[in-house]
Structure 1
Amino acid sequence: MPKGLLYLTVFLLSLSSFCQKDSLALNYDKTKIVQKEISAQDIEVYKNDPNFNYEVVQNDAPEWWIAFKNWAGNLLIRFFEWLFGVNKASGALNLFLEFLPYVLLAVLLFILVKFFLNVNARAISYAKKNQAAMTMSEEEHIIKNENIQKLIQEALANNNYRLAVRYYYLFILQIMTEKELIDWQIQKTNEDYLKELRQERLQHPFKDITRLYDYIWYGEFPMDHEKYQKAESSFSTLKQLLSNG
């Protein structure tokens, strides 16, 4: 091979190698860098955004309530997700689900309180009925068999003025029964006896002592000697009218 051709081949190969090295050279970005500044106002915007609030709030609620709330909440969330075909409740539905455990607990407490109040009311009503039956049986025995005037004196001796008023009222009923002014029956009320009285002169005094008796005995009005004397005057007036009639 001629020397000239050899030199030309070597020169071309060297030039090709130099061009390849030059094509791999690094290109530097010479764009001017502008520093971004964050103002205090920008920070406040992020601080007020609840999406950037990562503060852990200490919950002082009892563990049983937290467990119940989580259980009920998860159960309801799964139900509504199934019902509405969504993956997660949001908006008003999410707010409703958060408050629903409280509503359910309030309803449960209301039902329990109402149940126990009804049970207690039935027990009290039953006790009152039994007490009323016992009282009526006792009144029947007193009116038909006892010396009521003696019972009045015994009650006064013991300073039991309420009981004395009760005996005095039964004594009036006993007198009116003996005079056949009324037909005393265990199931009758004092209003029934007032309607049975035909003599107008007896109706008003009997109505007065009935009001006193109900107020003092059933109303558990506290009595002393002075108050008893005032009540006794009304009973004595009617007793005198019955004696004269």
Structure 2
Amino acid sequence: MRKLHFLLLLILCCVGITSAQQDSLRIVYDTVPLQVKTISEDELNKFYEDDAFQYEITEAERTWWDDFKSWLANIMLRLFEGIFGVDEASGILALVIRIFPYILLGILIYILIRFFLNINASSLKQTQNNTALVSLSEEEHIIKNENIHDLIKQALTKNDFRLAVRYSYLHVLKLMSEKELITWKPQKTNDDYLQEISKTNLQKPFTTITRLYDFTWYGDFHISEVEYQKARKAFLSIEKIINSNG
């Protein structure tokens, strides 16, 4: 009897487990209708224009700087290969080869900056030392308004014979303009005045003092008192010829 009860109990347990398994395997279907998502052309264009979605790799054209770095890196590599006997740069050696072009460029820029600074400093010092420097803007004022004889005397008092030659030449131009032998204008050159001179006895003396003036003033040559006295004779000679033609 006990065996029968045990058998019935076992059958009931198996039936219960089977029913539970069938309930757990029951399929539930989704009855919600599907909604189709559409993408417009404007929305697609946003993705096309976004750099994050650009997967094409474009190689930039090589510049002269890229070629220079490659050339210099090859030279450095060969140099280190010859010294250390390495076939391929790695570690610190590779880093040195990579940054060496920039170091060389920095040194070159530094040298150029120092060079131009030295030139500017020398020019500034020369300008400051030459307190009697006459700019082109003053030329018209000197010829039209100043007593050039007094300016020559002042220059000689300071032993500035180069400036005295400058004033002497301007005095000749002023005399020739007053005698209507030339038409003086600030923009004209000395060659222009030579072509205007019609008096043959003035052409050669004017050529002589013009060469003397260009050599002394524009050549920035400092002349001695003896050299000035020789130049002064040439200026006095042409002044006499100009006055005689008047």
TM-score normalised by the chain length of structure 2: 0.51
| Cα gap change, 1:93 to 1:141, in 2 (>3 Å) | same
Residue 65 of structure 2 is matched in structure 1 by none
Task: Report 1:53-132 matches (<5 A).
Answer: 91=87, 93=89, 98-114=96-112
Partner amino acid, structure 2, of 1:91: D
1:220, 1:191 → 2: CA distance? Answer: 20
Structure 2, unaligned runs of 5 or more: 1-72, 74-85
Deviations 1:16-68 (A, max 9, x none): xxxxxxxxxxxxxxxxxxxxxxxxxxxxxxxxxxxxxxxxxxxxxxxxxxxxx
Describe how 1:6-17 pairs up with structure 2 within 5 A.
none
SS in structure 1 of the partner of residue 188 of structure 2: coil
Q: How far, CA to CA, are the matches of 2:134 and 2:158 in structure 1?
A: 23
1:166 aligned residue: 166
Range that drifts further, 198-207 or 141-150 = 198-207
What residue identity is the alignment partner of 1:218?
Y
The aligned amino acid for 2:224 is D
Instruction: Give, as a single letter, the amino acid of the residue that structure 2 aligns with 1:140.
Output: E
What is the CA-CA distance between 1:181 and the residue it aligns to?
Answer: 2.0
Distance between the aligned counterparts of 2:215 and 2:156, measured in 1?
Answer: 19
> Residue type matched to 2:108 in 1?
F
Could you tell me how far 1:100 is from its partner in structure 2?
4.8
Query: Separation in 2 of the partners of 1:111 and 1:154?
Result: 46
Q: 1:189–1:120: structure 2 CA closer, same or farther, 3 Å change rule?
A: farther
Alignment partner of 1:202: what SS?
helix
SS of the aligned residue for 2:222 comes to coil
Deviation, 1:171, is 0.4
Aligned residue in 1 for 2:224:
224
Match of 2:192 in 1: 192
Count of matched residue pairs: 155
Secondary structure of the residue that 1:91 maps to in structure 2?
A: coil
Report the RMSD for the aligned CA atoms in angstroms: 3.8
Label 1:204 to 1:161 Cα distance change in 2 as closer, same or farther (>3 A): same
Shift of 1:183: 1.9
User: Identity across aligned pairs (percent)?
Assistant: 43
| 1:144-167 alpha-carbon deviations (Å, 9 max, x no partner) | 012212322333344332222111
